[in-house]
């Protein structure tokens, strides 16, 4: 059978490998870390650096199609692979989303609304950034590259705090004005080889210290805003000539139909984990189907769901959760080290679909 290559060895890669196995594929996972959760379930594992051109070429030669589970795979590595084997989504989608400055510019060029922002690349940019901050009162300085799970972010409300945070990061940043949103939702969309886009129902996302804690479907958000968000995600996917599952995070503004794009994840997304239990075809299976050019499966939801991440020492409670709720669907990622805020597992709990009033 065919072999699907996956760059990245985290829990997302692990779920992709399981979904690929369900469809009869072999998987080859490429990761720079020896203890990668996805290695435990893949058919083959390649532990090598993303700058090792020989290993990259070898890996690509070995795979019939390649995808990735995290957007910070160096774009150069994806390009080397793409010379030999089709890579979906395109390297361009990773390159754009691994840099918040490029991502904001992409969104602005598409005419989509985001939080207000200014780019802070040099000390000279701090003058305009301080004026921007004075105008907005509170802001979040985000490092342009490599930030995730709220890492590389600082909340600032004075010029002094801004300067300290920028000096501390010592790298290009984006300063965003603090948005007073009503709630956060995301769109988990799948774009197939034919260009048609399907979107799951939007989960409502609740964070703890900037880290996703719970995703809840249905979201407490008017259907019009969910549809608006789904349409935006479809436009983003089309603009990227995308193939696969895509996550787009949104801020829902109070009243009206206004939504702001927070960020794009060109991959399966944590806020879509509930699709494994609450939908006939999960985000992972649909991603695999898309990258191999198979028909996209139904994104219909047969249950309401609450997905709770087990962050850091939360994971120690897994037995209590199973004792309390026989219907709780537990996932443990096989990570050995418990660190504060680290995603070590998650639990999905279903309930019958609530009747619309």
Report the interface residues with Mg ion, using CB under 5 A: 249, 263
What gap in Å lies between CA 95 and CA 230, rounded to an integer? 23
Annotated binding-site residue? 242: no
Minimum distance, C-beta of residue 263 to Mg ion, in the bound complex (Å) = 5
Q: Give the Å distances, CA to CA, from 293 to 225, 279, 290.
A: 31, 21, 5
Helices (H), the chain: 11-22, 53-62, 75-82, 91-97, 100-109, 125-136, 159-169, 223-239, 275-278, 283-292, 318-324
* Contact string 64-103 vs ligand ATP (x = CB under 6 A): ----------------------------------------
Q: Which is nearer to ligand ATP, 63 or 211 (CB)?
A: 211
Under the criterion CB under 6 A, does residue 182 sit at the interface with ligand ATP?
Answer: no
Residue 179 interacts, among Mg ion, ligand ATP, none and using kind-specific CB cut-offs from 5 to 8 Å, with ligand ATP
Residue 349 interacts, among Mg ion, ligand ATP, none and using kind-specific CB cut-offs from 5 to 8 Å, with none
DSSP characters for 150-219? TTTEEEE-SHHHHHHHHHHH-S-EEEEEPP--SEEEEEEEEE-TTS-EEEPPPPEEEEETTEEEEEEES-
What gap in Å lies between CA 103 and CA 157, rounded to an integer? 24
CB 25 within 8 A of CB 3: yes
Minimum distance, C-beta of residue 282 to ligand ATP, in the bound complex (Å) = 20
Q: Which is nearer to ligand ATP, 45 or 142 (CB)?
A: 142
Minimum distance, C-beta of residue 262 to Mg ion, in the bound complex (Å) = 6
Minimum distance, C-beta of residue 105 to ligand ATP, in the bound complex (Å) = 16
Among 4, 42, 115, 143, binds ligand ATP (CB under 6 A): 115
- Residues of this chain that interact with ligand ATP (CB under 6 A) are 115, 140, 142, 147-151, 176, 178-179, 184, 207, 210, 249, 262-263
């Amino acid at each position: 059978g065919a072999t699907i290559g996956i760059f990245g060895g985290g829990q997302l890669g692990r779920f992709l490998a399981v979904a690929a196995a369900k469809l009869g594929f072999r998987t080859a996972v490429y990761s720079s870390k020896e203890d990668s959760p996805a290695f435990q379930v893949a058919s083959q594992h390649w532990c090598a650096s993303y700058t090792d051109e020989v290993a990259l070429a070898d890996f690509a030669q070995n795979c019939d199609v390649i995808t990735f589970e995290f957007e910070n795979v160096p774009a150069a590595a994806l390009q080397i692979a793409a010379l030999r084997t089709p890579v979906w989504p395109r390297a361009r989608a990773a390159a754009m989303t691994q840099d918040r400055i490029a991502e904001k510019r992409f969104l602005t060029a598409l005419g989509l609304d985001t939080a207000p922002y200014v780019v802070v690349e040099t000390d000279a940019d701090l003058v305009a950034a301080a004026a921007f901050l004075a105008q907005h009162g509170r802001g979040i300085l985000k490092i342009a590259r490599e930030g995730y799970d709220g890492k590389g972010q600082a909340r600032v409300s004075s010029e002094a705090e801004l300067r300290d945070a920028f000096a501390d990061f010592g790298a290009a940043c984006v300063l965003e004005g603090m948005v007073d949103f009503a709630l956060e939702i995301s769109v988990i969309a799948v774009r197939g080889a034919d260009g048609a886009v399907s979107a799951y129902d939007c989960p409502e996302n609740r964070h703890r210290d900037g880290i996703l804690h719970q995703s809840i479907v249905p979201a407490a958000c008017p259907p019009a805003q969910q549809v608006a968000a789904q349409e935006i995600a479809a436009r983003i996917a089309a603009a990227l000539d995308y193939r696969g599952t895509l996550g787009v995070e949104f801020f829902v503004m109070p009243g009206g139909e206004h939504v702001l794009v927070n960020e794009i994840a060109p991959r399966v997304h944590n806020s879509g984990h509930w699709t494994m239990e609450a939908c006939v075809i999960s985000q992972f299976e649909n991603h695999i189907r898309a990258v191999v050019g198979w028909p996209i499966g139904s994104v219909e939801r047969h249950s309401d769901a609450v997905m709770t991440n087990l962050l850091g020492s939360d994971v120690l409670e897994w037995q209590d959760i199973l004792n309390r709720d026989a219907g709780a669907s537990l996932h443990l990622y096989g990570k050995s080290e418990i660190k504060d805020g680290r995603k070590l597992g998650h639990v999905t709990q279903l309930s019958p679909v609530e009747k619309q009033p």
